[in-house]
């Protein structure tokens, strides 16, 4: 049926567009950045040790401010973002990273949303395509009751 094919096509197109947007959004900002922006970017990936769940870039706590200073000092000294991250990991453990690093078990949380989305779409397709023994034209009991109710409604004034 061309109607159903075109519906799936519309859906596929929508997903493609959104996926594109998502990819764009998660890509980092290329090009030249100021020192402040670089400190912010590194800090945004590190967890503030004292304030729980805020990044070093966001946290208003004093220690976070001192860590930002530390990041800035190291950037000025020419160290790369990976080296700076390693510096913190060596001292605080992988816990200091706000996103789990993508290796070993930690791939699980990264995989889950994608797998979930694929599984969800598959479920949707499966449920929508499921054919019942009856044809599409029949009326269910629920609908029958509803039709009766609405007929009764129509008979009433106003």
Partner 1 sequence: MPALVGTLSLALALALAVYGATAAIVGARTGRPRVVESARTAAYSLFALVVVANLAMLAALLGNDFSLRYVASNSSRATPTFFKMLALWSADEGSLLLWNLVLGGYLAAVAFRFRRRRPETFPWALAVMFAISAFYLVLVLGPTTPFATLATTPLDGRGPLPLLQNHPLMAAHPPFLYLGFIGFTVPFAFAIAALITGRVSDAWMRITRRWTITAWIFLTIGLVLGALWSYSVLGWGGYWAWDPVENVALLPWLMGTAFLHSVMVQERRGMLKVWNLSLIVGTFALTVLGTFLTRGSILASVHAFAESIVGPLYLAFLTLVLLGGFGMIAWRRESLRAEATFDTPLSRESVFLGNNVLLLVLTFTVLVGTIYPLLAEAVTGGKVSVGSPFFNRNTAPVALLLLFLMGIGPLLPWRAASPSAVLRRLQVPMWAAAVTAALLALTGAGVVAVIVFGLAAFVAAATVAEMVRGVQAQRRARGISVGAAIGAAVARNHRLYGGLVVHLGMIVAVVGVSWAALADRSSEVTIARSEIVHAEGYDLRYDGLTTREEPQRRVLVAELTVLDPETGDEVVRLKPSLNLYPSASEPIGTPSIRTGTPFNGMVDLYASLVTVENDTRASFRFFVNPGIGLLWLGGAVMAFGGIVAAWPTRPRAASPRGPEPMAERREEVTV
Partner 2 sequence: MSAGVDETDEVREAVEPDGRARSRHRWRTVAFVLAPLVLFALLLATGLGRDPRELPSELIGQPAPTFSVPRLDAGGTIDLGDLHGQVVVVNFWASWCVPCREEHDALAAAWDRYRERGVVVLGVSFEDTREAALEFRDELKGDWPLADDPGSRTAIAYGVFGVPETFVIAPDGTIAAKTTGAVTYEWLTDEIEGALRAGNVE
Does 91 help bind partner 1 (rule: CB under 8 A)? no
CA distance 5 to 9: 6
List the structure tokens of 47.
């967890």
Does 18 help bind partner 1 (rule: CB under 8 A)? yes
Does 66 help bind partner 1 (rule: CB under 8 A)? no
Of residues 41 and 72, the one with the C-beta less far from partner 2: 72
- Extract long-range pairs of 85-92: CB within 8 Å, 24+ residues apart: 85/42, 85/45, 85/46, 88/46, 92/49
> Using CB under 8 A, which of 4, 76, 145, 146 touches partner 2?
145
Does 109 help bind partner 1 (rule: CB under 8 A)? yes
> Using CB under 8 A, which of 18, 35, 44, 63 touches partner 2?
63
> Using CB under 8 A, which of 66, 81, 96, 107 touches partner 1?
96
List the structure tokens of 30.
């290329």
**Rounded alpha-carbon distances, angstroms, from residue 99 to 54, 84, 121:** 12, 16, 26
Tell me which residues touch partner 2 (CB under 8 A). Answer: 49-50, 62-63, 66-67, 69-70, 89-93, 95, 141, 145
């Amino acid at each position: 049926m061309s109607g159903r094919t075109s519906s799936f096509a519309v859906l596929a197109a929508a997903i493609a567009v959104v996926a594109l947007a998502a990819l764009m959004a998660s890509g980092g900002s290329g090009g030249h950045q100021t020192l402040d922006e670089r400190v912010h970017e590194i800090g945004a990936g590190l967890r503030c040790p004292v304030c729980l769940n805020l990044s070093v870039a966001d946290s208003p706590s004093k220690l976070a401010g001192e860590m930002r200073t530390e990041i800035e000092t190291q950037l000025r000294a020419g160290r790369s973002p990976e080296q700076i991250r390693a510096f913190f990991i060596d001292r605080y453990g992988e816990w200091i990273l706000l996103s789990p690093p993508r290796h070993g078990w930690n791939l699980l949380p990264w995989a889950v949303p994608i797998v979930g989305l694929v599984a969800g779409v598959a479920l949707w397709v499966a449920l929508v395509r499921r054919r019942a023994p009856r044809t599409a034209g029949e009326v269910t009991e629920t609908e029958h009751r509803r039709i009766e109710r609405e007929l009764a409604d129509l008979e009433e004034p106003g």
